[in-house]
Amino acid sequence: MESIRNITVENIIGGRMSGSLNDVAYKKSLPCLTVGQVVHGSMGISLAGEEMVSVGEMEVFIIPAGRTHQLLHMAGKDGVFKAHWAYMDVMVDGAPMGDVLTLPTVLSRAASGQIYAAIRAICEEGILCRRYIAAYRMLDILMAHATGHAPEEADRTAIRRFVDANFGERIGAEEIAAALGCSAPAVYRYTAKYFGMSPANYINHVRLTHAAWQLEQTSAPVRQIALSVGFEDMPYFTRLFKKSFLLPPGEYRERRLAWDNGRV
């Protein structure tokens, strides 16, 4: 990791979950790095349709920004499941951490105590600087377990940055092509190569990821959220959201609130 020149962290948010969650599964995708820890019980995680891996009590899991994943919560013997986590926007040399480094889905138990203390500080510390200190301490641990991979290709970077900056507008292959200075057919080839989907599906994936984030973190009306991420047709938005996350937007928000408040 000696070649890395700069790491920045923004928008640090901590959260906790406690409730009678047993054999409860759901899908999600968030526009930020998630570092979580099972405090009581266990869970399974599947990233982007890969084989589900087990996360035991006090083990730490990592989910890169924008990665669709499925979670399965399993309660302890007392019927209770508990977890806590930290959400962060982490940029490494100007790119999302997951685009520059490969992180394990589950960390070794040797890191559990330090990560527990860092997440707890992020959740409880009222002084902003101390939350940032905790976040950077946690990142130091993650970096020790990360491996580098080839630099992101320029076309992939340009597409990702354009869509991230403009997903709330009316954009498609033509607009991406204009930004890249290439043809629309080339954009179709690029998104298939880099993201495994069409330009429209990639744009909608980014939009839905940000919609899920707003549903979890704000009280804005669902229609307002849909419009803010680029969906003008509510039935279409609801249909795509349910296809991606297994629940319609309103129910997704209600379930998340219930879980976070220990009412499930």
Do residues 193 and 118 share a domain? no
Residues 28 and 139 in one domain: yes
Q: Are residues 106 and 37 in the same domain?
A: yes
pLDDT at 153: 78
Written in H, E and C, the secondary structure of the chain is CCCCCCEEEEEEEEEEEEECCCCEEEEECCCCEEEEEEEECEEEEEECCCCCEEECCCCEEEECCCCCEEEEEECCCCCCEEEEEEEEEEEECCEEHHHHEECCCECCHHHHHHHHHHHHHHHHCCCHHHHHHHHHHHHHHHHHHCEECCCCCHHHHHHHHHHHHHCCCCCCHHHHHHHHCCCHHHHHHHHHHHHCCCHHHHHHHHHHHHHHHHHHHCCCCHHHHHHHCCCCCHHHHHHHHHHHHCCCHHHHHHHHHHHHCCCC
Residue 264 lies in a domain: no
Domain check: are 50 and 138 in the same one? yes
Q: What's the pLDDT at 263?
A: 47
What's the rounded Cα separation, in Å, for the pair 64 and 32?
A: 7
The first and second tokens of residue 174, run together, are: 């033509």
| Number of domains present in the structure of the chain | 2
Q: What is the pTM of this model?
A: 0.84
Same domain, 13 and 133: yes
Q: Say if residue 143 is in the same domain as residue 37.
A: yes
Q: Which of 133, 150, 167 is the last residue of a domain?
A: 150
The domain containing residue 185 runs over which residues?
Answer: 154-258
- Number of other CB atoms surrounding residue 176 within 10 Å: 24
Q: Does 161 lie in the same domain as 67? A: no
Question: Cβ neighbours of residue 99 under 8 Å, at least 6 residues apart?
Answer: 152, 160
Residue type, 78: D
Same domain, yes or no: 181 and 127: no
d(C-alpha 32, C-alpha 10), whole Å = 10
Does the pLDDT value for residue 262 go beyond 60? no
The answer on pLDDT for 5 being more than 90 is no
Q: What is the mean pLDDT of the chain?
A: 90
- Measure Cα distances from 174 to 159, 166, 168, 206, 256 in Å: 12, 13, 16, 17, 37
Its sign, for the CA torsion 54, 102, 48, 35, is positive
CA atoms of 23 and 72, how far apart (whole Å): 6
1, part of any domain: no
Would the pLDDT of 159 be above 90? Answer: yes
Percent of the chain at pLDDT exceeding 90: 69
72 with 134, same domain: the answer is yes
* Same domain, yes or no: 128 and 35: yes
Are both 15 and 140 inside the same structural domain? yes
Q: Does any domain span residue 47?
A: yes
Integer Cα distance of 208 and 214 in angstroms: 10
Domain final position from 121, 150, 179 = 150
Q: What is the pLDDT of residues 195-222, one digit of tens each?
A: 999 999 999 999 999 999 999 889 999 9
Condensed to tens digits (0 to 9), the pLDDT of residues 228-250 reads 999 999 999 999 999 999 899 99
Do 30 and 133 lie in one domain? The reply is yes
User: Does residue 164 carry a pLDDT above 90?
Assistant: yes
Contacts of 101 (CB under 8 A, 6+ apart): 1, 92, 143, 146, 147, 148, 149
Candidate from 29-33, 48-52, 64-68, 71-75 with smallest mean pLDDT: 48-52
Cβ atoms of residues 85 and 104 within 8 Å = no
Of the residues 150, 180, 211, which one is the last residue of a structural domain?
A: 150
Q: What is the pLDDT of residues 68-94, one digit of tens each?
A: 999 998 999 999 999 999 999 999 888
